[in-house]
Amino acid sequence: MGLKIIKKILSGNQAISIGAYKGNARFASGYPGTPSSEILEHFKNYPNVIAQWAPNEKAGLEAALGASIAGVRSFATMKHVGLNVAADPLMTASYTGVNAGFVVVSADDPGMHSSQNEQDNRRYAKFAKVPLIEPSDPYEAMAFMQYAFVVSEKFDTPVILRSTTRISHSLGVVQFDPRTLDNEKELSLAKDFKKYVMIPANAIERHRVVIDRLAKLKEFSNQTPINKLEKGKTDFGIVTSSMAYNYVKELIPDANIFKVGFSYPMPGDKIREFAKDLNRVIVVEELEPFMEEELKIAGIEVEGKKYFPENGEFNLDIVEEGLKKAGVIRERATTVYFDGFELPKRPPALCPGCPHRPIFDILHSRKDVFITGDIGCYTLGCLPPLSAMHTTVCMGASISMGVGASKVQKEDKVVAIIGDSTFFHTGIQPLIDARINGANLTVIILDNRITAMTGGQPDPGSGFTLKGEEVNPIRIYELAKAIGIERVFEIDQYDYKATKELINREIDTDALSVIIPTRPCVLAPKRIKDRPLVVIPDKCVGCKRCLRIACPAIDFKNNKAIIDEFLCTGCEVCKNVCPVEGAIVHKEEK
Amino acid sequence: MNIVSVLFVGVGGDGIITASNIVAQACMLAGYDVKKSEIHGMSQRGGSVSASVRFGDKVYSPTDKLGSVKYMLATEKIEMLRWVRYLNRGSVVVVNDRIVPIIGQTIDEDRIDNMVEQVQTKTLVKRKFLVDSEKLGNPRLSNTIMLGVLSNFLEIDEKYFHDAIDLILPEKLRTINQSAFSYGKNLIYDNTSGE
Ligand SMILES: Cc1ncc(C[n+]2csc(CCOP(=O)(O)OP(=O)(O)O)c2C)c(N)n1
């Protein structure tokens, strides 16, 4: 019987979702975050699977753990910083172990393409004493994801599958047969007091199990075929994993390479064997010296970070430079033929019509406020010319940092600004903090009813789910009221004047207040475009006030503002801030 | 066969992800190994964006090396200039003759054109593709026309591009993009490096 083979170009994230399905995973939960979001967006399309967005990563990981204990292979997805939020359940899920296979997918972001830090989550595997699997391209992303469920069940442990931006968002040719794998054994819901109830008496026992398990995993790491020697001709050897492997392969095709796919615990014995006949061994790994440290602890002589940076994303040029520094290649093959030009940077900006824009324009004109910000599209309000945000640390930190800042000083009024998805993620408890500890704070919850930043995923206020099913949304207004906050206001921020009055009034009132601007995102779930506006050149005085709202649709030429009618959505913020009556009008009125 | 790189550069929302997907698909259909890299997220909100397609017998890295990009498709002139360090004397560049404004900057287009002229590659096709696109009745066809131009230089049979367009684009956009591609393919250039 012929086997059907599918050959496709797939992204790493598509490949992970295929691997999960082939690995018989039937439940998945997660929280969006670049570069991980597309995994669940693909996975949801498979038949007979449950895929859902959780309000945050901790809830997502716990839901998947619950499904595993109930006998169904499951996984949770998140970006690297999401695992900080989910670290609490991860650390103890290591103790409980699993029933059906359970995988945590962490998508790291070396280079911070879309993140607030570039932490290396391989450290979590060691911290939680769980195995770590790292693919290096889409094909491996699929195969290793499937394999991760087998490892999870075989060793009764959560497994971390670590991707990076360059793996998740790179495409490659993948061939696979679409059959799915069966579970190791028939499973059903497990009620096992000693295993799943982590009171101290049980946890003390389980910690011993974890330590024994780690010893077995170490042995397994020396046997698994995903840790493999690629014999070459060089007198030196290279130990590498993940994306770095590709750069090494391309730069030194005939190198002796030890490719690590199962990177915690490290395959010490196998690498000791590999190193035996070589002059020297160099570890090439992105970000932290994780493998290097493990190998040194195992007493194997290796070099690594003395030649390569510990920060930033690798690429062919950086790896080539490091290999040259290490003396294993003589010359860099590169010639740069054209010098770079001095060019203006092109930072991202709020979209034309973005409902966040008027809020930042209003806040910009208050010089007596300290604005604690958060993470989302609205973080762009920190950039000039809007320049209306003084802190951004991690999701949910706006309100809680505002509590502290408003408690210890009275000179500046404090405004906390947060998006709806971020509010549901980790903003609710800080709002409770503000209410119960009596903070004098103006909280602005930008309710565009979508997780815009990461590509428009639904959140609990959207009214639909990952699978597109309608659901009764949670209203932030009612939530704030239920917490017992008296001053809660909804406002349509396209009504610029009324919004400005409300914000100013609440900043000047000594009380906790919550303002919820309610205009939806202009991009998702559907594109919104109204009649565009135009500038009447004769009336424009060239004052540039409209440029201060940082709208990509507005340009300035020959001392006059001009509006690109393709880009303009007709939101009227520019019209509202323009000091000349009738200089900006809707197109048809011209 | 050595690895061949096609680098796509532009501004978030410009459609370079789709354009690069078409090329990647065509390469695979032509029997090559192919890797592609693209960046999502924050940069899509109007920031600088890039995507690279690399094909050959066996491709490891999805991203390019300085001085090693043979083909570049730039949807805008400033972004083309931002990536010149990846080009070499033998490169072929197809650039849309336009500038996307940058918030808070006044851009001197003559200065930018002057810089573009300094980039002396084997072939540089600079043209107002938006005009061609509007001529075809839809302002969003520039990238596909540019792909048609580029296909004259790439060692990939034309039929694979047509197949790739059908595979990648939604049905209602196929016919018009097929004609846009052919239109670009039939634009003949004698312009070599603007000499
Ligand atoms: C712990 C964590 N998880 C996920 C992310 C990725 N992320 C950044 S902002 C954001 C949510 C943005 O949505 P919202 O607050 O509604 O603001 P919007 O972008 O819609 O303006 C997400 C998911 C992150 N930075 N940190």
Q: Which residues of B touch A349 (CB under 8 A)?
A: 45-47, 103
Beta strand spans in A99-158 (E)? 102-108, 132-133
- In this predicted model, what pLDDT tens digit does every residue of A204-239 receive, in sequence order? 999 999 999 999 999 999 999 999 999 999 999 999
Tell me the pLDDT band of A589, cut-offs 50, 70 and 90: low
Nearest-CA distance A438 → chain B (Å) = 36
Q: Tell me which of A61, A124, A357, A451 to substitute to probe ligand 1's pocket, judged by most ligand atoms within 8 Å of the beta carbon.
A: A451
What is the model's pTM?
0.96
Q: How far is the CA of A473 from the centre of ligand 1 (A)?
A: 18
The per-residue pLDDT for B45 is: 79
| pLDDT > 90: percent of chain A | 95
Q: What is the average pLDDT across A107-134?
A: 97
Neighbour count for residue A436 (Cβ, 10 Å): 11
Return d(Cα A146, Cα A180) in angstroms, integer.
Answer: 9
List alpha helices for B48-170, DSSP H.
Answer: 77-82, 109-118, 129-135, 142-151, 158-168
Residue type at A272? R
The per-residue pLDDT for A2 is: 63
Neighbour count for residue B71 (Cβ, 10 Å): 20
- In this predicted model, what pLDDT tens digit does every residue of A45-70 receive, in sequence order? 999 999 999 999 999 999 999 999 99
Q: What is the average pLDDT across A392-406?
A: 98
Q: Tell me which of A118, A382, A422, A493 to substitute to probe ligand 1's pocket, judged by most ligand atoms within 8 Å of the beta carbon.
A: A422
The per-residue pLDDT for B44 is: 67
Nearest-CA distance A10 → chain B (Å) = 9
- In this predicted model, what pLDDT tens digit does every residue of A116-127 receive, in sequence order? 999 999 999 999
Q: Which residues of A touch B11 (CB under 8 A)?
A: 346
Q: Which residues of B touch A343 (CB under 8 A)?
A: 78, 81-82
Return d(Cα B100, Cα B148) in angstroms, integer.
Answer: 22
Phi, psi of A31 (to 5 degrees): -125, 140
The per-residue pLDDT for A399 is: 98
- What are the pocket residues of ligand 1 if the criterion is a CB atom closer than 6 Å to any ligand atom? A 31-33, 79, 81-82, 85, 375-378, 395, 419-422, 446, 448, 450-454
Q: Tell me which of A350, A357, A454, A476 to substitute to probe ligand 1's pocket, judged by most ligand atoms within 8 Å of the beta carbon.
A: A454
Q: How far is the CA of A114 from the centre of ligand 1 (A)?
A: 10
Q: Which residues of B touch A170 (CB under 8 A)?
A: 35-38, 62
Q: Is the peptide bond before A525 cis (omega within 30 degrees of 0)?
A: yes
- In this predicted model, what pLDDT tens digit does every residue of A427-450 receive, in sequence order? 999 999 999 999 999 999 999 999
Task: Return the residue in B42, B130, B140 with the most chain A beta carbons within 10 A, the one to mutate for interface testing.
Answer: B42
With CA atoms as reference, the chain B residue closest to A350 would be B45
Q: Which residues of A touch B41 (CB under 8 A)?
A: 34-35, 113-114, 453-454
Q: How far is the CA of A454 from the centre of ligand 1 (A)?
A: 7
Name which residue sits closest to atom 4 of ligand 1, judged by CA. A33
CB A355 within 8 A of CB A494: yes
Task: Look up residue A113 and give its two tokens.
Answer: 């393409």
Written out in words, the top-level CATH class of the domain with range B4-98+108-185 is: alpha beta
Nearest to B35 among A7, A171, A350 (CB): A171
Residue A90, CA distances (Å) to A353, A507, B118 in order: 41, 41, 56
> Is it the case that residue A272 has pLDDT exceeding 90?
yes
Q: How far is the CA of A115 from the centre of ligand 1 (A)?
A: 10
Hey, is the C-beta of B158 within 8 angstroms of any chain A C-beta?
Answer: no
Cβ <8 Å between B88 and A335? yes
Nearest to B25 among A9, A333, A349 (CB): A9
Atom of ligand 1 nearest to the CA of A33: 6
Cβ <8 Å between B84 and A338? yes
Residue type at B56? G
Return d(Cα B33, Cα B38) in angstroms, integer.
Answer: 17
Work out how many CB contacts closer than 8 A connect A with B. 152
Q: Which residues of A touch B115 (CB under 8 A)?
A: 341
Q: Tell me which of A356, A421, A521, A523 to substitute to probe ligand 1's pocket, judged by most ligand atoms within 8 Å of the beta carbon.
A: A421
Q: List domains and CATH numbers for chain A.
A: 6-221 (3.40.50.970), 228-325 (3.40.50.920), 357-517 (3.40.50.970), 533-589 (3.30.70.20)
The per-residue pLDDT for B39 is: 77
> Is it the case that residue B105 has pLDDT exceeding 90?
no
Q: What is the average pLDDT across A295-302?
A: 98
Nearest to B119 among A9, A338, A453 (CB): A338
Cβ <8 Å between A172 and B62? yes
With CA atoms as reference, the chain B residue closest to A33 would be B41
Residue in B125, B123, B127 with CA at minimum distance from that of residue B192: B123
Cβ <8 Å between A171 and B103? no
> Is it the case that residue A25 has pLDDT exceeding 90?
yes
> Is it the case that residue A391 has pLDDT exceeding 60?
yes
> Is it the case that residue B195 has pLDDT exceeding 50?
no
Q: What is the ipTM of this complex?
A: 0.94
Task: Look up residue B175 and give its two tokens.
Answer: 């016919």
> Is it the case that residue B43 has pLDDT exceeding 80?
no
Residue A308, CA distances (Å) to A117, A266, A289, A325 in order: 19, 20, 10, 9
The per-residue pLDDT for A34 is: 95
The per-residue pLDDT for B41 is: 59
Nearest to A34 among B40, B48, B88 (CB): B40
Cβ <8 Å between B87 and A338? yes
E strand or H helix at A442, and its extent?
strand A442-446
Nearest to A170 among B35, B102, B119 (CB): B35
Hey, is the C-beta of B167 within 8 angstroms of any chain A C-beta?
Answer: no
Give B 79-138 residues with CB within 8 A of chain A.
79, 81-82, 84-85, 87-89, 101-107, 115, 118-119
Report the range of poorest mean pLDDT among A32-36, A174-178, A268-272, B44-48: B44-48
Residue A515 three-state SS? strand
> Is it the case that residue B194 has pLDDT exceeding 60?
no
E strand or H helix at B96, and its extent?
strand B87-96
Q: What is the average pLDDT across A21-40?
A: 97
> Is it the case that residue A184 has pLDDT exceeding 80?
no
Report the range of poorest mean pLDDT among A112-121, A326-335, A431-440, A499-508: A326-335
With CA atoms as reference, the chain A residue closest to B91 would be A337
Nearest-CA distance B43 → chain A (Å) = 6
> Is it the case that residue A304 has pLDDT exceeding 70?
yes
Between helix B16-29 and helix B158-168 the angle, nearest 10°, is 130
Q: What is the average pLDDT across A491-511?
A: 98
Residue found by looking up tokens 């990648």 in the block = B168
- In this predicted model, what pLDDT tens digit does every residue of A517-543 receive, in sequence order? 999 999 999 999 999 999 999 999 999
What mean pLDDT, rounded, does chain A reach?
96
Find how far residue A71's CA is from the centre of its chain: 28
Task: Return the residue in B58, B59, B61 with the most chain A beta carbons within 10 A, the one to mutate for interface testing.
Answer: B61
In 3-state terms, chain B is what percent helix, strand and coil (to 5)? 40, 25, 35
The per-residue pLDDT for B42 is: 62
Q: Which residues of B touch A335 (CB under 8 A)?
A: 67, 88
CB A552 within 8 A of CB A351: yes
The per-residue pLDDT for B193 is: 40
Hey, is the C-beta of B193 within 8 angstroms of any chain A C-beta?
Answer: no
Q: What is the average pLDDT across B138-149?
A: 96
Q: Which residues of A touch B78 (CB under 8 A)?
A: 343-344, 346
**Cβ burial A182-212 (10 Å sphere, 16+ → b, else e):** ebeeebeeeeeeebbebeeebeeebeebbee
